[in-house]
Structures are given as structure tokens and as C-alpha cells.
Amino acid sequence: MEYRQIGKTGIQASVIGLGSEGIARISAAETDRVIGFAIDQGINIMDCCMPGLEVQNHINRALRGKREKMLIQGHIGSSATDGQYDASRDIGTCRSNFENLLKGLGTGYIDFGMLFFVDTDKDFSLCFEDDLLEYVMRLKEKGVIRAIGASCHNSEIAGRIAETGVVDLIMFSVNPVFDMTPVNSDIYELLDDTKLREKYTLSIEPGRMRFYQLCEQRQVSITVMKTLLAGKLLSSEFSPLGKAMSVSQCIHYALTRPAVASVLLGAKSEAEITGELS
């Protein structure tokens, strides 16, 4: 397994990691097997953006006695509404949900405290120019989080995040199709097949490449989500190659973007992890 440093932290992360959504869909016993197998293969980073005690308890059980072997991205501002995860900027809600995350995972610290879903000017203002940032900075001072990060799908906003000098890490959606869409595209439109077809062209958007280069210059690392475009790149319909891409091709593409440290994929089984590593 190859490892890359996260920002200026000195922390080394495996180039392949675990995403949230795969683990959120499986049982406690399956979570044990997936996380245990991942650790055995040298995977040492995972995302945990999904709120909800059940999945947190599953991860807690799987990491019992192994916590130091897994870096966790824990999100500040991730909230549940009617069973669906959402973003909250209310400081009381964010504090309560983060404290519940620590309890649910059975840990006294989170490696990367990620400001959740910072995709708009308003999100940026509420996260980086208000009480929420002060709360996150205090968490870091106390050692409750080891480093500060943010998740984002908009390269224009992500560039502003990188320029704050506050973060060591941005979780960002990287795949060849998204790299061919306008910098300020809305993630919900990009996940809509019809609207995505209207937006992307067969040329790399310069603003996206400027963002990657900015992160490289500022020593802000990127962990990758949406690597497979929700599986769409594995068929010919959306592949810019004109034929289906393989999982390994999608991973290679992401890992060759400047500043990318790790690709986080939503594996639900040992077989899927094996496929990602092949």
C-alpha cells in the first residue's frame, strides 16, 4: 500500500480509503469484516459523514482495539432530517451531533474534523467567518480533533477554503466527468443525468485544474469522493472514453490529480475492497 502525507500534518494516509455510504448500508457483522479486512490490506483512512447511532456503533465495534490503525474523517455540521442526512450551521446542533459522534464511535478524538458540505458563499461565510470556526479551532486546541478539513463539491468555493490557511484537508468530488463541468456547478445537478449531460464537455475545465494546483501550492491535501460518479463511469453512457471505465482507471485518474492524497470508496464487502486494490 502506498501512503501520502495529509497537508502539513505529518499524518500518512493510505491512497485507498473507505467511504461512508458503503458501510452505512451493511450490518454490524459485515462492518466488522469490511473494516478488519481493510486494515489487514493496509487501508488506514475512512470517512464517517453519516449521522446516526447505529452505523456509528457498528464502526465502534469494528475498531475496538484497532482505533489507532484507522484515521477517521468526522464531519461537523452533518445532521439527520427525516432519516436523511443534511447540513446544519446551528452551533448548538453541530456541537451536539459532534459529541454524539464521539460517543457513538467510542473514541476521545477524531483525526480530521471536517466542516460539512461547504458548497456556497453562504456556507463558506457560516463555516469560516462565524462561531462555527471558533468551535472547531477550540476542538483542535484541546486535541479532540487532530487537524481541520472541509468537504466541498464546488471548486470555486473549495479554492477559497484552501486559501484560508485553516485547513489541511479538503474532501472533494474528483472524476473525469466532473472535471469537465463548470467550476460553480451544483452537485445535485451533476448527479441528475439529464442536467449533467447539458453541462459537461470533452475538455478539462481550467478552474478545476487551478483548484488542484492551488491545493498543491498551499500544501492542502484532497481526499476524494464521487470517484466512480455513482457507478456511472463503469458504463459507456457517461464515460469520456466512449466506453466503460474500470474501477482501477477511475482510481488512477483521481490519484494523478495534484494534491490528492487518498481515494475513499464505498466498499460493502471484502470482494469490493479486493477489486479496488487490484
| Region 234-238 average pLDDT | 88
Entry pTM: 0.95
Q: What is the pLDDT of residues 144-184, one digit of tens each?
A: 999 999 999 999 999 999 999 999 999 999 999 999 998 88
Per-residue pLDDT, averaged over 81-107, amounts to 89
Express as a percent the part of the chain with pLDDT over 90.
76
The CA–CA distances, whole Å, from 163 to 53, 80, 232, 274 equal 34, 30, 32, 37
Domain map (residue ranges) of the chain:
3-277
Can you give the pLDDT at residue 81?
A: 67
CATH T-level fold of 3-277: TIM Barrel (3.20.20)
What is the CB neighbour count within 10 angstroms for residue 272? 15
CA distances from 65 to 43, 70, 91, 106, 146 (A): 16, 11, 32, 11, 20
Predicted confidence band at 117 (pLDDT cuts at 50, 70, 90)? very high
Q: Per residue in 23-65, pLDDT tens?
A: 888 999 999 999 999 999 999 999 998 778 899 999 999 999 9
Read off the C-alpha cell for 144: 479532540
